[in-house]
């Protein structure tokens, strides 16, 4: 990439952002500079008052927080736990997998618990059990899904916590997949908003179920088909609310503190949000607060594509590497940006304060396929408004962090990791956003070399074609005379030809039987 390419790129960025200041923090080049914005903080602070102890409204597409009240305070998630249950199940089983209900699963009949009425030994599909769990919050369905996914509820809880760690949840602990009260079973409004968002983003089949007011559990080996109704008042309770399209209840947990939780999805004009209520003293209060917060979010914010604020092609930008042979001239497509990423802006806000930062994410072991290795995060007045994942596609079954760094030695070295930072400083030359003089000269030479090779090849082809034309023009094929030349055929006497033979030639054949007349 030449210096001219960089100039053209930044001209495009300047035009696309319409004066927006885009500051990119390169952890791999600017050691000691890191991104410290709190992603759990709401974009605006002047949200409405509510009665519930905790609440978060999150934009599903960007992950930006549009409202927060005690968003990091821990509470019993009650049956909102089933959202995490569904995520782990769908991450491990297909919806047409057949599961069997154990005696333990069918015995989940404590006070205030809903049940589909399965009996021991009854079988159904994963999808049918998800319908019962996500719509009616059926305990037997939730327990059966957990057991059939991991073998036992204890092992399933381990999987839930591992998934929570991968999602980046810092204040959640799961001891069961149903939501029944336990001292070490807790979460926060923010963490549950992340779970609720990822569930409908990563698994459309879960969104389809949660968006239903009623659905059917198909006939099983022991029971006829049965209809299931959503326990969420805005979905199956006859109280329709504009823009709401899905929901999950989190009723007062058995043996818990008596508080209520609620998850509600809504969308309008490009915004797709989830509202999480936790610690509400009454069920009516949870629904009333939800309506207030959804109306606030959808009337105070708007969505925008992050692509309009930053180029989506890392191979053109070349800003994330001090030195990387993969991106010198030809470019590679193994590292790229997330498609269709978006940000959220308050209505009528000034874009002058928008900045972006490249954030490093260390992965110890890369899996085959897509691996998120960082992100470009956008902030407005130091509040997170969305971002774009940087994705590395691994074409091998596994790759360690050290193997990755051997390919990309200076990729976003974590400034907190002094050993890696020092190693990069010793092996790579630190460069600023604008390439230095020698880098520009090197890139220009490489570009000229590549261009010269192409033109030389085309010039050689042109000379060859011209030479053929000149040969045909100045050295035409000589015209023959009236005399005919026959190849010698020993089976026929020479005097039978009737023509004087001027020459007899032998071809490279073992016999003369296939020789033919030549004009």
Work out the percent of the chain whose per-residue pLDDT is above 70: 69
Q: What is the pLDDT of residues 437-454, one digit of tens each?
A: 444 454 455 556 556 666
What does the pLDDT read at residue 429? Answer: 32
- With beta carbons less than 8 A apart as the criterion, state whether 223 and 246 touch: no
- With beta carbons less than 8 A apart as the criterion, state whether 376 and 96 touch: no
pLDDT at 83 over 70: yes
0.85 surpassed by pTM: no
- With beta carbons less than 8 A apart as the criterion, state whether 393 and 336 touch: yes
What is the sign, positive or negative, of the torsion defined by CA atoms of 35, 40, 43, 45? negative
Mean pLDDT of 214-226: 95
Question: How many CA atoms are closer than 13 Å to the CA of 388, on its beta-carbon side?
Answer: 25
As annotated, the residues of the chain forming the CATH 3.40.710.10 domain(s) are: 54-280
Bridge partner list, 226: 217
Neighbours of 242 (CB within 10 A): 10
Which residue reads 């000269």 in tokens? 441
Per the structure block, which two tokens stand in for 447? 């570009």
What does the pLDDT read at residue 441? Answer: 52
Question: Distance between CA atoms of 490 and 319, rounded to whole angstroms?
Answer: 80
Q: Residue 451, class by beta-carbon neighbours within 10 Å (0-12 exposed, 13-18 middle, 19+ buried)? A: exposed
State the DSSP string of 489-502: -TTS-GGGS-S--S
Averaging pLDDT over each range in 23-37, 217-231, 238-252, 396-410, which range is the top one?
217-231
Three-class secondary structure of residue 428 per DSSP = coil
| Lowest-pLDDT range of 124-133, 339-348, 424-433 | 424-433
The mean pLDDT value of the chain amounts to 77
Q: Which CATH class is domain 54-280?
A: alpha beta
Averaging pLDDT over each range in 8-17, 83-92, 336-345, which range is the top one?
83-92
Q: What is the pLDDT confidence band of residue 103, given thresholds at 50, 70 and 90?
A: very high
Q: What is the pLDDT confidence band of residue 264, given thresholds at 50, 70 and 90?
A: very high
Per the structure block, which two tokens stand in for 134? 């996500």
Q: What is the pLDDT confidence band of residue 109, given thresholds at 50, 70 and 90?
A: confident
Which residue reads 């890392």 in tokens? 314
pLDDT at 293 over 80: yes
Task: Give the phi and the psi of residue 88 in degrees, each rounded to 5.
Answer: -65, -40
What does the pLDDT read at residue 444? Answer: 57
- With beta carbons less than 8 A apart as the criterion, state whether 83 and 167 touch: no
Mean pLDDT of 358-386: 85
pLDDT at 43 over 90: yes
Residue environment code for 276-286, b if the CB has 16+ CB neighbours within 10 A, otherwise e: bbbbbeeeebb
Mean pLDDT of 233-262: 85
Q: What is the pLDDT of residues 455-514, one digit of tens each?
A: 677 788 888 888 888 887 777 665 554 444 444 444 444 444 444 443 343 344 444 444
Three-class secondary structure of residue 518 per DSSP = strand
pLDDT at 58 over 90: yes
Q: What is the pLDDT of residues 191-204, one digit of tens each?
A: 999 999 999 999 99
What does the pLDDT read at residue 515? Answer: 45
Q: What is the pLDDT confidence band of residue 355, given thresholds at 50, 70 and 90?
A: confident
């Amino acid at each position: 990439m030449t210096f001219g390419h960089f100039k053209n790129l930044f001209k495009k960025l300047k035009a696309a952002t319409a004066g927006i200041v885009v500051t990119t923090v390169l952890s791999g080049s600017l050691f000691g500079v890191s991104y410290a914005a709190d992603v759990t903080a709401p974009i605006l602070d002047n949200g409405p008052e509510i009665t519930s102890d905790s609440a978060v409204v999150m934009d599903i597409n960007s992950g930006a927080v549009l409202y927060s009240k005690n968003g990091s305070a821990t509470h019993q998630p009650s049956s909102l736990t089933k959202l995490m249950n569904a995520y782990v199940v769908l991450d491990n089983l297909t919806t047409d997998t057949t599961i069997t209900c154990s005696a333990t699963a069918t015995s989940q009949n404590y006070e205030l618990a809903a049940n589909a009425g399965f009996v021991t030994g009854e079988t159904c599909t994963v999808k049918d059990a998800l319908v019962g769990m996500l719509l009616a919050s059926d305990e037997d369905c939730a327990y059966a899904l957990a057991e059939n996914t991991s073998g036992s509820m204890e092992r399933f809880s381990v999987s839930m916590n591992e998934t929570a760690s991968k999602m980046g949840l810092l204040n959640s602990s799961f001891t069961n997949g149903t939501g029944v009260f336990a001292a070490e079973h807790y979460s926060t409004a923010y963490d549950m908003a992340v779970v609720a968002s990822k569930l409908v983003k990563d698994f459309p089949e879960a969104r389809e179920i949660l968006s239903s007011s009623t659905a059917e559990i198909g006939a099983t080996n022991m029971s006829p088909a049965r209809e299931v109704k959503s326990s969420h008042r805005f979905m199956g309770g006859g109280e329709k609310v504009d823009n709401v399209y899905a929901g999950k209840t989190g009723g007062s947990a058995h043996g818990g503190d008596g508080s209520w939780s609620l998850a509600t999805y809504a969308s309008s004009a490009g915004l797709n949000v989830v509202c999480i209520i936790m610690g509400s003293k009454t069920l009516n209060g949870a629904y009333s607060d939800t309506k207030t917060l959804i109306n606030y979010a959808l009337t105070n914010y708007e969505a925008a594509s992050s692509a309009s604020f930053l180029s989506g092609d890392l191979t053109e930008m070349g800003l994330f590497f001090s030195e990387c042979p993969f991106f010198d001239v030809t470019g590679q497509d193994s590292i790229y940006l997330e498609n269709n990423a978006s940000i959220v802006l308050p209505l009528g806000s000034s874009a002058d304060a928008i900045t972006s930062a490249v954030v490093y994410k260390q992965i110890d072991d890369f899996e085959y396929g897509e691996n998120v290795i960082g992100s470009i995060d956008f902030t407005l007045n130091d509040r997170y408004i969305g971002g774009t994942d940087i994705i590395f596609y691994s074409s091998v079954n596994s790759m360690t962090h050290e193997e990755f760094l051997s390919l990309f030695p200076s990729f976003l070295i974590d400034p907190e990791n002094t050993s890696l930072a020092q190693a990069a400083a010793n092996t790579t030359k630190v460069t600023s956003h604008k390439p230095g003089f020698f880098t520009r000269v090197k890139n220009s030479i490489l570009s000229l070399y590549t261009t010269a090779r192409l033109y030389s090849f085309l010039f050689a082809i042109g000379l060859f074609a011209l030479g053929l034309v000149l040969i045909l023009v100045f050295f035409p094929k000589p015209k023959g005379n009236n005399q005919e030349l026959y190849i010698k055929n020993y089976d026929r006497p020479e005097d039978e030809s009737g023509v004087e033979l001027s020459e007899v030639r032998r071809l490279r054949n073992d016999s003369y039987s296939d020789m033919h007349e030549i004009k």
